[in-house]
Chains A and B, each alone.
Chain A
Amino acid sequence: MSSSPTLSCHLYYVFLQSATIFYILFHGTLAVYFIPFASAFFVTKQRKSNRVLPFFDMAAAVRMPSANQPKSMTRPTRWSDVVEEAYRFQIAGYRDEIEYREVQKTDHVDRWPHNGYVKKLVRRDGCFYYYNRTRECPDKQINKTKLYEY
């Protein structure tokens, strides 16, 4: 006679524990979705690059960075063929030939046959830029040109 209340008590406690575990699991999984939003309220002063991304932009966060990112940039002081090449690409809105090939998905760049300078480039909006046979980079634009190193 004393065992039946004990057994029922046991069963009751097991039921409570399982219900508790189920409750925690259920609400815990739901809470995972709210953590990013909640943490955003506690972000005070951060740079754009360190800002926590919202849930809908997680695809962008997991996107792999380009393999050809430059590691350093210098400003030239004298004109040379390399500076001229960089000037022509930067006029068209690209960093250099590597970015141009990545963006336009092509290996071919139109060049003048006699000196190898860039002849024609395609802009990002689809328009065409044409360049002269001879030097185009003026002296005052030399130090505004950027030379990237990988």
Chain B
Amino acid sequence: MMKTKQQQPCINKVKLPGKVVNPREKVPFTQQVDIYDRNNITKPEPPLAGAFKERNTGGTSFKKFYERGDFPIALEHDTKGNKIAWKVEIEKLDYHHYLPLFFDGLCETCHPYEFFARQGVHDMLEHGGSKILPVIPQLIIPIKNALNTRCHKVLCTTLKVLQHLVVSAEMVGEALVPYYRQILPVFNIFKNKNLNSGDGIDYSQQKRENVGDLIQETLEAFERYGGEDAFINIKYMVPTYESCMLN
């Protein structure tokens, strides 16, 4: 077993009873553990892998297009309601161009980019109909980028968007099945991220901001609308998931 630099100085100072330890000599693992315990030395922790660490995506193309004014959205200064005003009817928009751009904006966390991306995606999915299905392959990379940020707020938004996506039109859930291996690994990481508050009240659950619960809801939506092969593909990527339809 390869010794790290952190371990070598410790082992250099320690001697086995009746035997001088050569740092270059291979010491069995059971004897290593014994050495640290008997000499009251704290075993060095392995370095963190950073699975839960938030990652910055840098600038998104949504922000660039928004600054240029390429989106058919009118700025709203009315505090009543949380709607965006569209300059062009959504039915006339080119979904192949605009929907991936709005999905790209899901990585944003600053106002107003975050608001316009989220609400724009919501409106386009609500009123897209049959125009959504052909665009699914172009949405996978923005969804993957959003999930890979590992940011709590972005994760919650993206999970809710995915739940809306699978119910927005027919066959969309089944069209997502081949792409599970690209978007479900992050689900596996955060699936057990639930707050253990004892007998307290978790208000994030009520506001739908608990990541663990949102992941469970999203996986159930995938299975419900994904067809026959959905469950086996989900189980392959998220082994701890249990079916909500077969049980």
> Hey, which bits of chain A sit against chain B, CB under 8 A?
91, 119-120, 123, 125-130, 132-133, 141
What would 14 more interface pairs be, CB under 8 Å, given A130-B83, A130-B86? Answer: A91-B81, A125-B74, A126-B87, A127-B74, A127-B85, A127-B87, A128-B85, A128-B86, A128-B88, A128-B89, A128-B90, A129-B86, A130-B126, A130-B127
Closest 7 CB pairs of A and B: A127-B85, A128-B86, A91-B81, A127-B74, A130-B123, A127-B87, A128-B89
Distance (whole angstroms) from the CB of B207 to the closest CB of chain A: 14
> Hey, which bits of chain B sit against chain A, CB under 8 A?
74, 80-81, 83, 85-90, 123, 126-127
Distance (whole angstroms) from the CB of A110 to the closest CB of chain B: 10
- Beta-carbon contact of A91 and B90 below 8 Å: no
**B-chain residues with CB within 8 Å of residue A129 when the two chains form the complex:** 83, 85-86
- Beta-carbon contact of B86 and A133 below 8 Å: no
- Beta-carbon contact of B90 and A130 below 8 Å: yes
Distance (whole angstroms) from the CB of A132 to the closest CB of chain B: 6
Closest to B87 in A: A127
**A-chain residues with CB within 8 Å of residue B86 when the two chains form the complex:** 127-130
Closest to B74 in A: A127
Closest to A87 in B: B81
Closest to B83 in A: A129
- Sampled A-B contacts (21; CB under 8 Å): A91-B80, A119-B127, A120-B89, A120-B127, A123-B85, A125-B74, A126-B87, A127-B85, A127-B87, A128-B85, A128-B86, A128-B87, A128-B89, A128-B90, A130-B86, A130-B90, A130-B123, A130-B126, A130-B127, A132-B126, A133-B126
Q: Among A125, A130, A133, find the residue whose CB has the most chain B CB atoms closer than 10 A.
A: A130
